[in-house]
């Protein structure tokens, strides 16, 4: 039996009006990778904050680290005790060197007034070697790739004798190869006897890397299981308390082509992209992150127009040079990062929805508030945005409802073609299926939808046809009733670039 | 520990090249420009700008701004002038009084910025107006002319043939360089300018760093005030109207990023020299003074645009996908 490193005993946390955590108890042993799983709002973030010393738990519970009860009143306390959190933003200094990012904390802890650069460099070098990766110590962190920045964050934790490293959604911005590299690093941390608390939405990754998993649901503890005791279905049912099946779509016939793309090419981004999108069809585009999918979408929407190739909307050849052109042609685009690209989060639901149709709201000179309310309320109803208050600020909505607001905003333009990039990224499992239903409903009303998604179950259950991209090209086309996740993954990883495999009949 | 490659590519380097080119053009038009005498003279008349630019560099790296420095130096020259005339003609004491007055004023800015978390532009706009109001009430705009002789003598000293004021500029530069590079406070300044939240998480005392940043700015302004008095041999309470813009301009010309996190002492020296050369050179070339401001403004806009364009280009390279 391995030694218990961290023991969380009966931890609760009450915010005004909400019990975010309710009597959580579990143990993390030395050198294990421990998954922390739950929907958004299940209490994972609150638990991380408590372990990081940012939030204090309610009276009654305790945290025991290496046999000693500990009380953290600040982030420094928990770091000193050996708990290190790698936040999604990594908490790095983009303007400073790799070495300083890794080792300056040591100088702060020693309360040096004059810093010792030699020590900083030797400490950083040792840590990087221990991780077995290659990073230039002098490079400015802001100039590194996301994956390398993450390694710097891990190196910093390792340099400060972290015994438990908490990784919050560590793979969300990584490509498949980078995820593999990260897992290698995690395994080497394990060998050093360091425990990793791996917080993630992605089930496949949890099954690949963790030894055990603790599941939270609505702030309550649902149990800790060895990986072998679980399968995806059981894990999901523990997380959400209900079963979600992948129901594939039946094959349908479409004949009215709404959007046609021929040999679309943009140097350094994608090449020879050709496909047709029909009225009422959901066309899924999948592939690895970095395969050029988003770039294709942005080219069609005119944000970064292609170098060559042709685009036809309803049979007419069109030139799309800006997003304005695209909107006029009835194309709507919901970007992946809706917080920064799609929404003004400090504004009301109402103002976010009507922003695309302001021209229509203008009377003689001023915006007609009555018309504005009508449109907003109409879309809140149609898309079932909750809570249905037009004046509520978007930042106070859940991820799923924020996504609805973005979609509403674009549908308000009366668009015929909806391009949606990672529609359920960062949305919890429950809200996910609602977004899925919404997309299906829109398609059934005649909307042509181009959906970019990395999540194979999502692609399989929603798409009428599936395109797979790899390294800037479409390498395969499938219909959902005769394809498996493995076939898609195969194409995405190994697909031949010179010829497009067509599995459709 | 910066490699040659990054030095050559840096914004500081491009500003340095611009400095050389402008100097060459001016020399071709008027060879007096390159004479030792003119160079020393030019440096001497810009040391006040230089000393304060060092303080402003630290403020700007921390992600802040201080627009009260013009009012501050005006007020401190009045305080120091009165001290020299009415209380004591001791030179060392005058520096102590100037430095102390600066520390108090800068400290008030720092307290408001760090403890109450009011945006620095608002705080320093406020203190600027308050200081200006008090000064106008107190001085009525009158000059102080009877500065003691020993102080005036001190101001004309030239150890090793170099005007004594220039030593203060290089002293301030070396002090600032050491603080930024080798003290934990200095690294903290870069850290909070680069990522405030991370600086907090990693254990920097952010409030104390901010307090110190504005206090240091005040202290250097105080020293600059005494140095200024030693050059001008009189005090004009209105001499520094709008001077904060020149100070900020010199730092920005020197490659510092107004968004915080970036900037260097050697860049700021280049920025100050560029200001000095343009001001001096245009006079030597008999070009009307209003063109000075125009050209300085133009160079700032061009330098910053060039920087932004370069960054955008490198970002584009970053998102390239391998197409086979």
Lowest mean pLDDT among A249-258, A369-378, B306-315: B306-315
Residue A347 is classified by DSSP as S
Give the dihedral sign, CA A223/A225/A230/A235. Answer: positive
- The pLDDT of B196-221, averaged and rounded, is 92
pLDDT at residue A342, rounded to an integer: 72
Residues A236 and A251: their CA atoms lie apart, in Å, by 28
More confident residue, A251 or A139: A139
- Mark yes or no for CB contact A104/B3 under 8 Å: no
On the 0-12 / 13-18 / 19+ scale of CB atoms within 10 A, A370 is exposed
Residues of chain A in Cβ contact (below 8 Å) with chain B: 75-76, 79, 91-97, 100, 104-105, 107-109, 112-115, 117, 121, 138, 145, 267-271, 290-292, 295, 471-473, 497
Torsion of CA A228, A232, A237, A242, to 10 degrees: -160
pLDDT at B3 over 50: no
pLDDT in tens, A363-395: 777 888 888 888 888 888 888 887 788 888 888
Residues A466 and A381: their CA atoms lie apart, in Å, by 31
pLDDT at residue A170, rounded to an integer: 84
Element (H, E) at B186: helix B184-194
pLDDT at residue B321, rounded to an integer: 43
Among A152, A154, A153, A163, smallest CA distance to A79 is for A163
Residues A402 and A381: their CA atoms lie apart, in Å, by 14
Domain limits of chain B? Answer: 40-144+161-308
pLDDT at residue B101, rounded to an integer: 95
Using a CB–CB cutoff of 8 Å, tell me whether B203 touches chain A: yes
Residues B210 and B208: their CA atoms lie apart, in Å, by 5
Element (H, E) at A98: helix A98-109
pLDDT at B82 over 60: yes
Half-sphere exposure of A305 (CA within 13 A, CB side): 15
Distances A10 to A13, A21, A24, B223 between C-alpha atoms, Å: 10, 9, 5, 60
- The pLDDT of A165-181, averaged and rounded, is 82
Element (H, E) at B151: helix B149-156
What per-residue string of b and e applies to B82-118 under the rule 16 or more CB within 10 Å gives b? ebbbeeeeebeebbebbbebbbebbbbbbbbbbeeee
Please list the residues that pair with A199 across neighbouring strands: A36, A168
B-interface mutation test, from A81, A100, A114, most B Cβ less than 10 A away: A114
pLDDT at residue A341, rounded to an integer: 64
pLDDT at residue A367, rounded to an integer: 80
Residues A344 and A394: their CA atoms lie apart, in Å, by 7
Using a CB–CB cutoff of 8 Å, tell me whether B312 touches chain A: no
pLDDT at A400 over 90: no
- Mark yes or no for CB contact A112/B184 under 8 Å: yes
Mean pLDDT is highest, among A200-204, B176-180, B250-254, B301-305, for B176-180
- Mark yes or no for CB contact B183/A113 under 8 Å: yes
Residues B1 and A205: their CA atoms lie apart, in Å, by 40
What per-residue string of b and e applies to B226-241 under the rule 16 or more CB within 10 Å gives b? bbbbbebeebbbebbe
Q: Output the CATH code of domain A257-502.
A: 3.40.50.300
- Mark yes or no for CB contact A497/B324 under 8 Å: yes
Residue B39 is classified by DSSP as H
Using a CB–CB cutoff of 8 Å, tell me whether B198 touches chain A: yes
Residues B154 and B150: their CA atoms lie apart, in Å, by 6
pLDDT at A26 over 70: yes
B-interface mutation test, from A108, A118, A124, most B Cβ less than 10 A away: A108
Distances B125 to B50, B72, B164, B300, B318 between C-alpha atoms, Å: 22, 12, 33, 22, 40
A497 pLDDT band, cuts 50/70/90, is low
Average pLDDT of chain B to the nearest whole number: 87
Distance between terminal CA atoms of chain A? Answer: 56
pLDDT at A276 over 80: yes
| C-beta separation of A102 from A117 below 8 A | no
On the 0-12 / 13-18 / 19+ scale of CB atoms within 10 A, A348 is middle
Torsion of CA A27, A28, A29, A34, to 10 degrees: 140
Residues B68 and B112: their CA atoms lie apart, in Å, by 13
pLDDT at B1 over 50: no
- The pLDDT of B278-282, averaged and rounded, is 81
A148 pLDDT band, cuts 50/70/90, is confident
Mean pLDDT is highest, among A237-241, B124-128, B308-312, B316-320, for B124-128
pLDDT at B317 over 60: no
Length of chain B: 324
pLDDT in tens, B225-238: 999 999 988 888 88
Place of tokens 């009225």: A279
Rounded to two decimals, the pTM is 0.73
pLDDT at residue B258, rounded to an integer: 84
On the 0-12 / 13-18 / 19+ scale of CB atoms within 10 A, B251 is buried
pLDDT at residue A503, rounded to an integer: 60
A108 is written with which tokens? 């702060």
Going by their DSSP bridges, the two strands A68-70 and A62-65 should be labelled as: antiparallel
A158 pLDDT band, cuts 50/70/90, is confident
Domain limits of chain A? Answer: 4-82+161-240, 95-160, 257-502
More confident residue, A330 or A204: A330
- The radius of gyration of chain B's CA atoms, rounded to the nearest angstrom, is 20
A469 is written with which tokens? 């991209």
| C-beta separation of B231 from B223 below 8 A | no
Mean pLDDT is highest, among A337-351, B114-128, B273-287, for B114-128
3-state secondary structure of B221: helix
- The pLDDT of A255-274, averaged and rounded, is 90
Residues on chain A touching B183 (C-beta within 8 angstroms): 113-115
pLDDT at B310 over 80: no
More confident residue, A505 or B18: B18
Q: Which CATH architecture describes the domain B40-144+161-308?
A: Orthogonal Bundle (1.10)
pLDDT at residue A401, rounded to an integer: 81
Length of chain A: 505
pLDDT at residue A500, rounded to an integer: 66
3-state secondary structure of A235: helix
pLDDT at B222 over 90: yes
Complex-level ipTM beyond the 0.95 threshold: no
B318 pLDDT band, cuts 50/70/90, is very low
More confident residue, A138 or A16: A138
pLDDT at residue A43, rounded to an integer: 81
Residues on chain A touching B323 (C-beta within 8 angstroms): 267-271, 292, 471-473
A166 pLDDT band, cuts 50/70/90, is very high
Residues on chain A touching B195 (C-beta within 8 angstroms): 91-94
- Mark yes or no for CB contact B194/A121 under 8 Å: no
pLDDT in tens, A420-451: 988 887 666 667 777 888 888 889 888 999 99
Torsion of CA A477, A479, A484, A485, to 10 degrees: 60
Give the dihedral sign, CA B265/B269/B270/B272. Answer: positive
pLDDT in tens, A445-493: 889 999 998 777 788 888 999 999 988 889 989 887 777 777 777 787 7
Residues on chain A touching B203 (C-beta within 8 angstroms): 75-76, 79, 105, 108-109
Distance between terminal CA atoms of chain B? Answer: 38
More confident residue, A106 or A278: A278
Pick the residue from chain A with its C-alpha nearest to B192.
Answer: A93
CATH superfamily of A4-82+161-240: P-loop containing nucleotide triphosphate hydrolases (3.40.50.300)
Residues A481 and A461: their CA atoms lie apart, in Å, by 10
Q: Collect all residues with Cβ–Cβ distance below 8 Å to A61 and sequence separation of at least 6.
A: A8, A9, A10, A11, A12, A23, A24, A25
pLDDT in tens, A291-327: 888 899 999 999 888 999 999 999 899 999 988 889 8
Residues on chain B touching A145 (C-beta within 8 angstroms): 318
Angle, helix B164-182 to helix B265-284, in steps of 10 degrees: 150
| C-beta separation of A405 from A394 below 8 A | yes
Torsion of CA B51, B52, B56, B59, to 10 degrees: 90
Average pLDDT of chain A to the nearest whole number: 84
On the 0-12 / 13-18 / 19+ scale of CB atoms within 10 A, B300 is middle
pLDDT at residue B322, rounded to an integer: 42
pLDDT at residue A285, rounded to an integer: 93
């Amino acid at each position: 039996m391995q030694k218990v490193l961290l023991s969380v005993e009966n931890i609760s946390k009450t915010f005004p009006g909400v019990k975010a955590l309710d009597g959580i108890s579990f143990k993390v042993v030395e050198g294990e990778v421990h998954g922390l799983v739950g929907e958004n709002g299940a209490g994972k973030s609150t638990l991380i904050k408590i372990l990081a010393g940012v939030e204090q738990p309610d009276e009654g519970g305790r945290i025991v680290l290496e046999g000693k009860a500990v009380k953290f009143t600040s982030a420094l306390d928990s770091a000193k005790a050996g708990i290190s959190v790698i936040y999604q933003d990594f908490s790095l200094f983009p303007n400073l060197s790799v070495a300083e990012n890794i080792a300056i904390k040591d100088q702060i802890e020693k309360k040096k007034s004059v810093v010792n650069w030699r020590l900083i460099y030797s400490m950083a070098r040792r840590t990087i070697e221990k991780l077995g990766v290659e990073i230039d110590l002098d490079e400015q962190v802001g100039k590194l790739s996301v994956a390398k920045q993450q390694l710097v964050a891990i190196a910093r934790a390792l340099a400060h004798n972290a015994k438990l490293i908490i990784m919050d959604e560590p793979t969300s911005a990584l490509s498949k190869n980078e995820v593999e590299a990260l897992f290698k690093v995690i395994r080497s941390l394990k060998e050093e006897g360091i425990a990793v608390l791996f917080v993630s939405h992605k089930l496949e990754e949890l099954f690949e890397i963790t030894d055990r998993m603790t599941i939270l649901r609505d702030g309550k503890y649902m149990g800790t299981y060895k990986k072998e005791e679980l399968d995806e279905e059981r894990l999901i049912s523990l997380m959400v308390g209900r079963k979600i099946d992948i129901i594939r779509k039946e094959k349908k016939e479409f004949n009215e082509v709404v959007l046609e793309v021929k040999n679309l090419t943009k140097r350094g981004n994608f090449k020879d992209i050709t496909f047709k999108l029909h009225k009422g069809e959901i066309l899924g585009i999948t592939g690895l992150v970095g395969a050029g999918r988003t770039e294709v979408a942005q080219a069609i929407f005119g944000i970064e127009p292609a170098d060559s190739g042709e685009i036809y909307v309803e049979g007419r050849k069109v030139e799309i040079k800006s997003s304005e052109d695209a909107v006029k042609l009835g194309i709507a685009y919901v970007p992946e990062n809706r917080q920064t690209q799609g929404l003004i989060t400090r504004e009301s639901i109402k103002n976010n929805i009507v922003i695309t149709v302001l021209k229509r709201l203008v009377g003689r000179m001023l915006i007609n508030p009555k018309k504005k309310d009508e449109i907003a309320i109409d879309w809140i109803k149609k898309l079932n945005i909750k809570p249905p208050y037009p004046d509520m600020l978007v930042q106070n909505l859940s991820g799923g409802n924020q996504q609805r607001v973005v979609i509403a905003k674009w549908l308000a333009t009366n668009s015929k073609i909806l391009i949606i990039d990672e529609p359920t990224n960062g949305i919890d499992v429950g809200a996910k299926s609602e977004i899925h239903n919404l997309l299906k409903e829109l398609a059934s009303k005649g909307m042509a939808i181009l959906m970019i998604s990395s999540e194979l179950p999502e692609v399989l259950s929603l798409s009428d046809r599936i395109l797979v991209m790899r390294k800037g090209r479409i390498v395969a086309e499938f219909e959902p009733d005769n394809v498996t996740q493995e076939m898609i993954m195969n194409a995405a990883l190994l697909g031949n670039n010179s010829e497009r495999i067509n599995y459709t009949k | 520990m910066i490699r040659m490659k990054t030095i050559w590519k840096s914004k500081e380097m491009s500003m340095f090249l611009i400095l050389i080119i402008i100097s060459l053009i001016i020399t071709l038009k008027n060879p007096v420009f390159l004479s030792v005498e003119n160079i020393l003279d030019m440096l001497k008349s810009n040391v006040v700008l230089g000393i304060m630019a060092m303080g402003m560099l630290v403020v700007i790296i921390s992600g802040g701004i201080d627009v009260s420095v013009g009012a501050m130096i005006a007020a401190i020259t009045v305080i120091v002038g009165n001290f020299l005339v009415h209380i004591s003609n001791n030179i060392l004491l005058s520096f102590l009084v100037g430095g102390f007055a600066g520390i108090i004023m800068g400290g008030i800015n720092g307290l408001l910025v760090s403890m109450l978390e009011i945006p620095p532009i608002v705080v320093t706009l406020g203190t600027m107006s308050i200081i200006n109001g008090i000064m106008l009430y107190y001085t009525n705009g009158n000059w102080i002319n009877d500065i003691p002789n020993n102080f005036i003598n001190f101001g004309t000293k030239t150890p090793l043939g170099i005007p004594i004021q220039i030593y203060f500029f290089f002293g301030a530069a070396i002090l600032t360089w050491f603080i930024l590079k080798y003290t934990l406070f200095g690294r903290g300044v870069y850290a909070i300018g680069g990522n405030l939240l991370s600086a907090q998480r990693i254990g920097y005392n952010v409030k104390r760093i901010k307090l110190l940043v504005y206090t240091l700015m005040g202290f250097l302004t105080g020293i600059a005030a005494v140095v200024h008095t030693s050059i001008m041999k009189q005090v004009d309470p209105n001499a520094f109207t709008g001077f904060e813009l020149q100070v900020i301009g010199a730092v920005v010309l020197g490659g510092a990023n107004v968004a915080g996190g970036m900037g260097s002492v050697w860049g700021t020296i280049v920025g100050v020299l560029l200001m000095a050369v343009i001001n001096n050179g245009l006079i030597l070339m008999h070009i009307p003074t209003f063109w000075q401001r125009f050209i300085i403004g133009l160079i700032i806009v061009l330098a910053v645009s060039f920087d932004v364009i370069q960054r955008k280009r490198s970002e584009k390279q970053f998102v390239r996908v391998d197409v086979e």
